[in-house]
Every structure is written in structure tokens, then in C-alpha cells.
């Protein structure tokens, strides 16, 4: 088992990023990631992705070509790009705590 994962920021990678980045890895490299994940975070979705990929490789799948190191992360932990300045202004309070019915009846 390797103390450092096969690719940088593995411990903080999203499931989609892990799924993408392991496509080019050999079975022993994926096994190293699985061992690392079990020893450290044990994120269930990541464990499932790694175990599934190992099963695919055992069944005859071949690692894809190309360099997966430049894969972009699908998510961000930096907050929303939406500005609070775009929020709607609060309206007047409802009458007697109930919204007025605007349709006939």
C-alpha cells in the first residue's frame, strides 16, 4: 500500500473526479488507491467506484489511454458564484399570515 495516492488531491477529489482519473490506471494502482481510501477516509461512494473498477479490470477491461492528470474537477468548495446582490427584495408581509388567493373560486 502506498502512503501517497496515485494522483494529487485524491483525498479531496469528488466521486466523479475519481471515476475519471482511474480510467487510465492499472489494476495494482487502483488497488493502492482502494487500500489508501480504506486506511484513511473510507468514503463509501469512492470505495464503490474503486471496487467496481477493479472488478472491470479483472473481467478483462483495459486501462484507457491518455493522461488523466489534467482532468478538471466537476465541483468546487469555493462557494456559489451567485452574488447576494441579485436576490429579490422582500415584499410586504402576508395579510393575517395567509397569502391572498388570486384565482377565482
Each of the 105 residues of the chain gets a pLDDT tens digit; together they read 557 787 888 999 999 999 999 999 999 999 999 999 999 999 999 999 999 999 999 999 999 976 665 555 555 556 667 777 777 777 776 666 565 556 655
Q: How many CB atoms are closer than 10 A to CB 37?
A: 21
Domain ranges of the chain: 15-61
Q: Quick check: 6 and 25 in contact, CB under 8 A?
A: yes
**Predicted pLDDT at 102:** 60
**Predicted pLDDT at 75:** 53
Q: How many CB atoms are closer than 10 A to CB 90?
A: 6
**Predicted pLDDT at 100:** 59
Inter-CA distances, 83 with 74, 76, 77, Å:
21, 16, 16
**Predicted pLDDT at 83:** 72
Residue burial 39-74, b: 16+ Cβ < 10 Å; e: rest: eeeebeebeebbeebbeebeeeeebeeeebeebeee
CA angle centred on 28, ends 7 and 74, rounded to 5° = 35
- What is the SS3 assignment for 51-77? HHHHHHHHCCCCCCCCCHHHCCCCCCC
**Predicted pLDDT at 73:** 52
The model scores a pTM over 0.85? no
Cα 24 versus chain centre, distance = 18
Amino acid at each position: 500500500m502506498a502512503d501517497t495516492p496515485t494522483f494529487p488531491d485524491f483525498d479531496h477529489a469528488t466521486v466523479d473526479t475519481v471515476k475519471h482519473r482511474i480510467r487510465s490506471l492499472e489494476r495494482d494502482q487502483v488497488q493502492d488507491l482502494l487500500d489508501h481510501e480504506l486506511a484513511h477516509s473510507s468514503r463509501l461512494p469512492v470505495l464503490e467506484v474503486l471496487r467496481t473498477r477493479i472488478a472491470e479490470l479483472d473481467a478483462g477491461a483495459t486501462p484507457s489511454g491518455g493522461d488523466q492528470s489534467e482532468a478538471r474537477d466537476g465541483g468546487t468548495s469555493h462557494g456559489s458564484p451567485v452574488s447576494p446582490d441579485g436576490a429579490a427584495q422582500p415584499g410586504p408581509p402576508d395579510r393575517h399570515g395567509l397569502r391572498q388567493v388570486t384565482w377565482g373560486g
